[in-house]
Chain A
């Protein structure tokens, strides 16, 4: 099989081109020599089946940033038959260096100049024929977004592939990568001969929009308003979708699965329906939110606004060892941690990405909000309720800030904060939909097994041994709760609440349901019963613990699949448990000491 690598600088529309060529057939794969996933797709080209690989966007092959290392290691470990280099036509004056570096490596290459339309608008003219002659490789102008010029580029690629030349020798490449210089002079002379650039750019729409969106005082309020509207959209549009999905899943259960398992033994019935099927339902519940989130995110990202958000928020985020892009993800975490963690992929420096991923699970997501509203209604007056809820949000921000400050030394960001501000662009619907679909696929493949196993495990813990009522003190979960009593008693968390916390490990959505099972009561009766059993100090301590400890199995599964490190996943679990314990302990003990 032939192998074609797609290479380009960031913001050149590389992924758009990749998606256009590969359609929905793309998959995520591992490659020798590198630790991150790369997208690849099998395509038919000139009678050969070829594998097209989307390499990360890089500025050059020197290999100082994480992404540059990835590309170097890829080329030094994998033979390739062709490199398609994609450049932004309107920035050819500096991007050409990448082509020259590839040429120095003697890699067979085709140069595609993207965004031909933008370059034309700016008055930049490129003589592709003469440039091709000097570069000794095919050069053509294309538009990855609309597909113009693409057939010609594919044709040129086909010709090279059909020559059946031997593929690149990774060892030789790794040697050649060591020495590359004097490219700069070559570049200057090429630009002078084949490209005409006007002194000032004629298109200033972006400038006008920037004057408003990056305004000294209005920029930030506009940014917050925009984020609020977008997240509001995700959750208002997501809620009916989630409800519909839940209804459908309940229908399948009651009309198909229940009759199917009526005659089977109780344990099998429980395992299949309360274990595995509930696990599947837990996974499914996230799908609408992930789709909507990435629809919105790819819109924000492709439009060029994300880099602007980084500009606006950087002064504050730099103090926490993070950058402005992380802030968008942190905000998203208040809706749902899972897509927020997946979204950190936009951060190219691994230490900073890990730090952001450590912080996100501490944001008070909508599932935790349900638990708090239930507890607050049960134990506080209507007057106190808003203050209590507000203090939980403050606490959430505080723990995020504390975590970032404490761990920023460990996850030291080595990459300088220098970002390009691309001009504003309209993303196409095709681009956005493909992205949403790929992210859901990624989540389902990576997270579903983990989540289903976890749900089954908690089901088993709360249902065995089978001679005691489910979720009672006599079950394994109750025994574990009792085992941890010496640790949880100083927090005012009794055995029943401890079992609810074990349930909460799966998902916060089921905590209230779990309390109903544990106490054998529903709704108002349950609230009344709880109000007699625990006082407000215990309730607050329980809520603080719920806020800070591990959000849910799906978050853990996502942490593991996104960081590709079990150690990091365990660190996140351990840190959040320890922090939850300390915060609840300090609160409970000082409240008691003060006489409450």
Chain B
């Protein structure tokens, strides 16, 4: 089991589960975080700062605290 917060920069992955309370869950899903969606990490800010994630046509930044609620399965290529 792997979380979005552990994904390497540039690696692609598919969202396999989202474990979040209702408000966070809805915010994530409104921004396009849904089970089965592909995504990848573009960059990370220094000093354990936020992640810059690309999902489809949307670029999103989120803190690792929130990213660790998203389970993913990394794609090998």
Pairwise interchain contact A60-B58, C-beta atoms closer than 8 A? no
Pairwise interchain contact B57-A90, C-beta atoms closer than 8 A? yes
* Nearest CB on B from A350, distance (A): 15
* Nearest CB on A from B63, distance (A): 5
Q: What residues of chain B lie closer than 8 Å to A414, measured between beta carbons? A: 23
Pairwise interchain contact B30-A60, C-beta atoms closer than 8 A? yes
Among B23, B42, B48, B66, max chain A CB count under 10 A is at B23
A197–B32 CA distance with the chains assembled, in angstroms: 15
Pairwise interchain contact B49-A421, C-beta atoms closer than 8 A? no
Pairwise interchain contact A201-B63, C-beta atoms closer than 8 A? no
Q: What residues of chain B lie closer than 8 Å to A9, measured between beta carbons? A: 30
- Interface positions, chain A 344-387, Cβ under 8 Å from B, are none
- Interface positions, chain A 408-427, Cβ under 8 Å from B, are 414-423
Partner of A94, one of B27, B43, B56: B56
- Interface positions, chain A 35-52, Cβ under 8 Å from B, are none
Q: What residues of chain B lie closer than 8 Å to A217, measured between beta carbons? A: 46
Q: Is A128 an interface residue (CB 8 A)?
A: no
Pairwise interchain contact B45-A64, C-beta atoms closer than 8 A? no
Q: Is A579 an interface residue (CB 8 A)?
A: no
Pairwise interchain contact A91-B30, C-beta atoms closer than 8 A? no
A423–B58 CA distance with the chains assembled, in angstroms: 9
Q: What residues of chain A lie closer than 8 Å to B47, measured between beta carbons? A: 315-316
Contact status of A64 and B22, CB under 8 A, knowing A216-B46, A418-B31: yes
Q: Is B75 an interface residue (CB 8 A)?
A: no
Pairwise interchain contact A64-B50, C-beta atoms closer than 8 A? no
Q: Is A122 an interface residue (CB 8 A)?
A: yes
- Interface positions, chain B 50-77, Cβ under 8 Å from A, are 50, 52, 56-63, 66
Partner of A421, one of B23, B45, B46, B61: B61
Smallest Cβ-Cβ distance to A216: which chain B residue: B46
Contact status of A91 and B58, CB under 8 A, knowing A311-B50, A316-B47, A420-B31: yes
Among A60, A220, A315, A423, max chain B CB count under 10 A is at A315
Q: Is A186 an interface residue (CB 8 A)?
A: no
Among B28, B30, B49, max chain A CB count under 10 A is at B30
- Interface positions, chain A 392-433, Cβ under 8 Å from B, are 414-423
* Nearest CB on A from B4, distance (A): 12
Smallest Cβ-Cβ distance to A59: which chain B residue: B30
* Nearest CB on A from B40, distance (A): 11
Pairwise interchain contact A184-B62, C-beta atoms closer than 8 A? no
Q: Is A307 an interface residue (CB 8 A)?
A: yes
Contact status of A314 and B56, CB under 8 A, knowing A64-B27, A417-B50: no
Partner of A197, one of B56, B60, B61: B56
Pairwise interchain contact B46-A62, C-beta atoms closer than 8 A? no
Pairwise interchain contact A315-B61, C-beta atoms closer than 8 A? no
* Nearest CB on A from B14, distance (A): 14
Q: What residues of chain B lie closer than 8 Å to A168, measured between beta carbons? A: none
Smallest Cβ-Cβ distance to A217: which chain B residue: B46
* Nearest CB on B from A524, distance (A): 49
Pairwise interchain contact A418-B62, C-beta atoms closer than 8 A? yes
Q: Is A214 an interface residue (CB 8 A)?
A: yes
- Interface positions, chain B 3-47, Cβ under 8 Å from A, are 22-24, 26-32, 34, 42-43, 45-47
A201–B58 CA distance with the chains assembled, in angstroms: 10
A221–B67 CA distance with the chains assembled, in angstroms: 27
The number of chain B residues with a CB under 8 A from chain A is 29
Q: What residues of chain A lie closer than 8 Å to B62, measured between beta carbons? A: 416-419
Q: Is A65 an interface residue (CB 8 A)?
A: yes
Q: Is A509 an interface residue (CB 8 A)?
A: no
A97–B31 CA distance with the chains assembled, in angstroms: 11
A216–B62 CA distance with the chains assembled, in angstroms: 16
Contact status of A416 and B58, CB under 8 A, knowing A60-B30, A214-B52: no
A314–B43 CA distance with the chains assembled, in angstroms: 14
Q: What residues of chain A lie closer than 8 Å to B27, measured between beta carbons? A: 59, 64-65, 415-416, 418
A29–B43 CA distance with the chains assembled, in angstroms: 41
A219–B63 CA distance with the chains assembled, in angstroms: 18
Contact status of A64 and B32, CB under 8 A, knowing A311-B49, A416-B62, A421-B59: no
Q: Is A318 an interface residue (CB 8 A)?
A: yes
> Using an 8 Å CB-CB cutoff, how does the interface string of A107-130 with B read, 1 for contact, 0 for none?
000000000000000101000000
* Nearest CB on B from A474, distance (A): 58
- Interface positions, chain A 311-326, Cβ under 8 Å from B, are 311-312, 314-316, 318
Pairwise interchain contact A419-B60, C-beta atoms closer than 8 A? yes
Q: What residues of chain B lie closer than 8 Å to A420, measured between beta carbons? A: 31, 58-61
Smallest Cβ-Cβ distance to B23: which chain A residue: A64
Pairwise interchain contact B60-A311, C-beta atoms closer than 8 A? no
Partner of B45, one of A90, A93, A315, A415: A315
Q: Is A70 an interface residue (CB 8 A)?
A: no
Smallest Cβ-Cβ distance to B67: which chain A residue: A418
- Interface positions, chain A 1-43, Cβ under 8 Å from B, are 9
A91–B58 CA distance with the chains assembled, in angstroms: 7
Smallest Cβ-Cβ distance to A420: which chain B residue: B60
Q: What residues of chain B lie closer than 8 Å to A184, measured between beta carbons? A: 29, 34
Among A64, A201, A422, max chain B CB count under 10 A is at A64
Show 14 A/B contacts (Cβ-Cβ < 8 Å), sorted by A.
A59-B31, A60-B26, A62-B23, A62-B26, A94-B56, A94-B58, A124-B57, A216-B46, A314-B49, A418-B61, A419-B60, A419-B61, A421-B52, A422-B59
Give residues in B with beta carbon < 8 Å to A. Answer: 22-24, 26-32, 34, 42-43, 45-50, 52, 56-63, 66
Q: A93-B56, A423-B59 are in contact. List 9 more A-B contacts (CB 8 A).
A: A9-B30, A62-B23, A64-B27, A91-B58, A184-B29, A219-B45, A310-B61, A311-B61, A417-B50
- Which 10 A/B pairs are nearest by Cβ-Cβ distance? A59-B30, A315-B49, A64-B23, A421-B59, A315-B47, A418-B62, A94-B32, A62-B26, A311-B61, A60-B30
Give residues in A with beta carbon < 8 Å to B. Answer: 9, 59-60, 62, 64-65, 90-91, 93-94, 97, 122, 124, 184, 197, 201, 206, 210, 214, 216-217, 219-220, 307, 310-312, 314-316, 318, 414-423
